[in-house]
């Protein structure tokens, strides 16, 4: 992909998110500001219920902030019409989920190919690109296996390959090592770090895993919706 070194790809400007109204309201995220650049592997850490997932969903255009704004490149996406958000998500953002979220009836190749199809890359070109993405994460010998025949680490590598479909500059990962053993978790984290450093992407990862913090370029900690940089 085109080098975007030092460019801010994603920015949160005094973002807060409140659920509910009146006395029953809960502020999940409070006045968070961040500038996140290309070529960075960034961790967001904190206890359960601290606001990590809410923050990630706002970054990924899946949830609108109550106040403040979210910018991807130079576009304020938090105020876009709902009809325009799928285009942003398809072209700017790749997601990696803790639970893999693979289609159980599709092979590894077909899981990645399905995402490419949604992004307009179909037919022979889609299949060739899906195979290339799986080869990049070391699964060239497992492309025709169903998820039930893959290990947890292999499933997560399929999920990484799928997140790369369409070449998005931003990768958002929600605890991708949470269901993996320490060795496999580190391998997945090293793949994500290399995507940031070698390909000029921003990789932002929510994690509880203190064993891999040494791989991060920057670590943020959130508790009770308040953010601080470690």
3-state SS of 97-114 is ECCCCCCCCCCHHHHHHH
Mean pLDDT to the nearest integer, 102-108: 97
Mean pLDDT to the nearest integer, 159-168: 94
- Residue 3: pLDDT band (50, 70, 90) is very low
Burial of 219 (0-12, 13-18, 19+ CB in 10 A): middle
Contact 174, 208 (CB under 8 A): no
- Residue 79: pLDDT band (50, 70, 90) is very high
What's the pLDDT score for residue 146? 98
In this structure, what token pair is assigned to residue 96?
């990696």
SS3 127: helix
- Residue 1: pLDDT band (50, 70, 90) is very low
Give the separation between CA 113 and CA 127, rounded to whole angstroms.
6
Starting from the edge strand earliest in sequence, which strands make up the sheet with 202-207, in order? 93-97, 170-174, 202-207, 40-45, 218-223, 226-229
Instruction: Return mean pLDDT, the chain.
Output: 93
Q: Is 100 left (phi over 0), alpha (psi -120 to 50) or beta?
A: left
User: pLDDT, tens digit, for every residue of 52-70?
Assistant: 999 999 999 999 999 999 9
Q: Which residue has the higher pLDDT, 99 or 204?
A: 204
């Amino acid at each position: 992909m085109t080098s975007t070194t030092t460019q801010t790809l994603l920015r949160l400007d005094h973002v807060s998110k409140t659920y509910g109204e009146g006395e029953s309201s809960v502020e999940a995220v409070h006045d968070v500001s961040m500038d996140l650049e290309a070529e960075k592997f960034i961790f967001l850490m904190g206890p359960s219920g601290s606001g990590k997932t809410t923050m990630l969903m706002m970054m990924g255009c899946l949830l609108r902030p109550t106040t403040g704004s979210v910018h991807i490149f130079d576009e304020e996406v938090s105020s876009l019409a709902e009809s325009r958000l799928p285009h942003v998500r398809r072209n700017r953002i790749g997601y990696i989920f803790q639970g893999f979220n693979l289609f159980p009836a599709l092979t590894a190749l077909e899981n990645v190919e399905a995402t490419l199809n949604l992004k307009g890359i179909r037919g022979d070109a889609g299949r060739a690109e899906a195979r290339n993405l799986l080869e990049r994460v070391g699964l060239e010998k497992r492309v025709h296996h169903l998820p039930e025949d893959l290990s947890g680490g292999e499933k997560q590598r399929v999920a990484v390959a799928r997140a790369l479909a369409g070449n998005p500059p931003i990768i958002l990962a929600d605890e991708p090592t949470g269901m993996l053993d320490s060795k496999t978790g580190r391998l997945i984290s090293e793949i994500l770090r290399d995507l940031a450093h070698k390909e000029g992407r921003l990789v932002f990862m929510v994690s509880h895993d203190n064993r891999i913090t040494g791989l991060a370029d920057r670590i943020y900690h959130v508790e009770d919706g308040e953010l601080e940089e470690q």
